[in-house]
């Protein structure tokens, strides 16, 4: 089922070629939040691309059109088998040739990658969440491992820093949920907790029908505000790390906050328009980060 293996399984990949393969995957995808941007030190970028290629491909398996639930799970299970091979120095897929070197160089716990795969499996099998705690549990697998991996790449290993990273990554995941409400509905996924719908007097039937009401606006305003609280809870991380990572963190943090502002500017009607960062937004964020870089 692993369609990504068709062009790679008979090829012996050198480290250089494997990292270049991951870089192509990374830079071919649009993201609101920067991935391996030019603000990162050059000697770290290829490793960030390896992690991104691992996660991006797994995400594609979870969302790829035309597959059954069983086929999606099979693909993700095979992706985990590739991870196991990489840990045993027998990787054949270029993503995992690069990932094996990344894991070894920075002593990254493999469990962080398994957590990501668990989140992708949940994307396939779970389409509704009863409570906000359930959503946060998903974030602990889907987003937080990425932040921890990046910190480890820069040798930031203290528990306090990892927890600050968790807050920012959770905020980024939540912002993405509220940004992509319309997109996720097309996949029959709703990440607004059912308990919140009940509290604000908005029904799941109305949600599925994309009915924009005052109740929906109040509910999404509530979600945006508590997402902002996670961003501010994690913001001290920017001041705690060195300039090698602080610039990228600043750009990422500002990008997430800007998405929340975009949702507010739409008066929360994300059914009508998907809020996204425009080129002027990205340029402004980059200039802001570069100014901070020189301070």
| CATH of residue 93 | 1.10.600.10
Same domain, 139 and 283: yes
Same domain, 46 and 186: no
Q: Is residue 232 part of a domain?
A: yes
pTM of the model: 0.89
Count Cα neighbours of 294 within 13 Å in the Cβ-side half-sphere. 5
Q: Is residue 10 part of a domain?
A: no
What is the sign, positive or negative, of the torsion defined by CA atoms of 131, 185, 62, 40?
A: negative
User: Which pLDDT tens digits describe the chain residue by residue (295 residues)?
Assistant: 454 544 455 567 999 999 999 999 888 775 544 554 666 788 899 999 999 999 999 999 998 788 899 999 999 999 999 999 999 988 989 999 999 999 999 999 999 999 999 999 999 999 999 999 999 999 999 999 999 999 999 999 999 999 999 999 999 999 999 999 999 999 999 999 999 999 999 999 999 999 999 999 999 999 999 999 999 999 999 999 998 888 889 888 999 999 999 999 999 999 999 998 776 776 666 666 555 554 5
Q: Is residue 105 part of a domain?
A: yes
Query: What is the C-alpha to C-alpha distance for residues 143 and 172, in angstroms, rounded to an integer?
Result: 8
**Domain boundary, last residue among 101, 125, 149:** 125
**Domain boundary, last residue among 125, 153, 185:** 125
How does DSSP classify residue 5?
G
31: alpha, beta or left? (left if phi > 0; alpha if psi -120 to 50) = beta
Q: Is residue 1 part of a domain?
A: no
Domain, as residue range, for 231: 127-289
Q: Is residue 115 part of a domain?
A: yes
Same domain, 249 and 113: no
Same domain, 100 and 212: no
Same domain, 72 and 190: no
Give me 144's structure tokens.
């937080």
The three-point CA angle 159-135-71 to 5° equals 105
281: alpha, beta or left? (left if phi > 0; alpha if psi -120 to 50) = alpha
Q: Is residue 70 part of a domain?
A: yes
Annotate 133-194 with DSSP letters as a single string.
HHHHHHHHHHTHHHHHHHHHHTT---HHHHHHHHHHHHHHHHHHHHHTHHHHHTTT---S-H
Nearest C-alpha neighbor of 295 from the set 238, 234, 252, 231: 238
Same domain, 150 and 189: yes
Same domain, 141 and 248: yes
Same domain, 278 and 140: yes
Same domain, 244 and 143: yes
Q: Is residue 295 part of a domain?
A: no
Question: Is 93 within 8 Å of 4 (Cβ atoms)?
Answer: yes
Same domain, 48 and 121: yes
Q: Is residue 7 part of a domain?
A: no
Same domain, 115 and 131: no
Nearest C-alpha neighbor of 168 from the set 262, 239, 109: 239
Same domain, 120 and 154: no
How many domains does the chain fold into?
2
**Domain boundary, last residue among 95, 125, 155:** 125
Give me 265's structure tokens.
């500017």
């Amino acid at each position: 089922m692993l369609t990504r293996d068709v062009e790679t399984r008979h090829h012996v990949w050198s480290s250089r070629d494997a990292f270049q393969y991951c870089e192509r995957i990374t830079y071919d995808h649009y993201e609101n939040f920067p991935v391996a941007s030019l603000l990162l030190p050059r000697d770290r970028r290829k490793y960030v691309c390896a992690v991104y290629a691992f996660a991006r491909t797994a995400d594609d398996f979870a969302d790829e059109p035309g597959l059954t639930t069983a086929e999606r799970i099979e693909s993700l299970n095979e992706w985990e088998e590739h991870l196991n091979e990489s840990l045993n120095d027998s990787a054949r897929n270029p993503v995992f040739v690069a990932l094996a070197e990344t894991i070894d160089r920075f002593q990254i716990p493999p469990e962080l990658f398994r957590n990501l795969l668990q989140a992708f499996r949940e994307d396939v099998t779970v389409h509704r969440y009863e409570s906000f705690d359930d959503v946060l549990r998903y974030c602990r697998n889907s987003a937080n491992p990425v932040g921890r991996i990046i910190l480890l790449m820069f040798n930031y290993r203290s528990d306090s820093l990892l927890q600050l990273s968790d807050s920012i990554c959770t905020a980024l995941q939540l912002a993405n949920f509220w940004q992509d409400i319309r997109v996720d509905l097309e996949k029959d996924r709703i990440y607004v907790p059912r308990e919140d719908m009940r509290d604000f007097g908005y029904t799941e039937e109305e949600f599925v029908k994309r009915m924009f009401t005052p109740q929906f606006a109040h509910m999404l305003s509530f979600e945006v505000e508590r997402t902002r609280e996670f961003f501010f809870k994690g913001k001290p991380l920017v001041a705690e790390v060195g300039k090698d990572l602080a610039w990228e963190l600043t750009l990422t943090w500002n990008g997430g906050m800007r998405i929340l502002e975009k949702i507010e500017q739409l008066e929360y009607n994300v059914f009508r328009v998907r809020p996204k960062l425009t080129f002027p937004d990205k340029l402004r964020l980059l200039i802001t980060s570069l100014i901070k870089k020189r301070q």
